[in-house]
Structure 1
């Protein structure tokens, strides 16, 4: 059995058109490992995206528990299906976090994909364990992408593919965290 870092590095080498991520594995893999530990510990993932990537949030939630998967169902939820009101104050964010803490007693994290100035980004950034794929913003413990990258959408799909494979590897005991 391999550790997640070794497994991920080999997987990235063997994946077609993933050189860009292989070159950034030092940023990608440690962040992935921390989130896999949380998932494995029973945390739920609340998927949030900015307006331009709303399609991607829907894609994640629809594909993560695809009927073709042979694994157990995973606790990934689209934010708008949990709370569909505009958030305009810190008090509302606190109430939202309280509601989600009560709803997900094992814990939850925000999984945010998008620009760093979006309202959802601000919510995710205020939560300690959030999984952030930020566009045009660099923060510690986040993965940065560029809006000017012509392959941005393809890269997002590739990141999800690797995330999904990593989940399988962890759940089926191919790797240790």
Structure 2
């Protein structure tokens, strides 16, 4: 079983579809992905994906690929959060947030986490940013405990696709005990 950080670097270097820029983020990437995958595989958390409106295409891409039959692995609990709560763009009060959290605690008794991809100041980011276990890929804010990107980066879409590729490969490697994400 290979050590996670070394496996990440090797995978970035060997996968011709992942650019070297991601290796520069390895110390930011590894602990966040480790925590997220541990929540999914060891704690049985479900993952509720939220994106800003500009990244709705990416949400569709994730959901189309995360449980692809081509991966030859068990399906994992990834869901579009908007299928649970359509009014996400109108979150206004603490009562709204509290009611949603109560609903999610009932719906996911083993736990849940948000995976948010988008601009940090977007209304859709609110729930994910206040939930401790969230997996955040935020734009235009340097925030501790997140993957930080710039929305004006010309290569942003390609970077998102490369990050997803690495994340999905990491999920498979952890699921099949090729790596220990906690080491």
TM-score with structure 2 length normalisation? 0.93
From 71, 76, 100, the counterpart of 1:74: 76
Query: Are 1:102 and 2:78 an aligned pair?
Result: no
Q: Is the 8 A contact 1:49 1:112 kept in 2?
A: yes
| Alignment check: 8 A CA contact 1:5 1:30 kept | no
* Structure 2: runs of 5 or more not aligned: none
Cα root mean square deviation, aligned: 1.0
* Residues 1:46 and 2:32 are matched in the alignment: no
Distance in 1, Cα, partners of 2:3 & 2:131? 28
Give the Cα separation in 2 of the matches to 1:15 and 1:31. 21
Residue in structure 1 matched with residue 135 of structure 2 by the alignment: 131
| 3-state SS of paired residue (1:132) | strand
Count of aligned residue pairs for this structure pair = 177
1:67 CA drift (Å): 2.2
Is the 1:48–1:78 contact (alpha carbons within 8 Å) kept by the matching residues of 2? yes
CA drift of 1:105 comes to 1.0
Runs of 4+ aligned residues of structure 1 deviating over 4 Å after TM superposition are none
* Cα offset, 1:57, TM superposition: 1.0
Deviation at 1:43, TM superposition (A): 0.5
Shift of 1:15: 2.1
Higher relative contact order, chain-length normalized (CA < 8 Å, sep 6+): 2
Residues of 2 paired with 1:3 and 1:96: CA distance?
Answer: 38
**TM-score between both structures, scaled by the size of structure 1:** 0.96
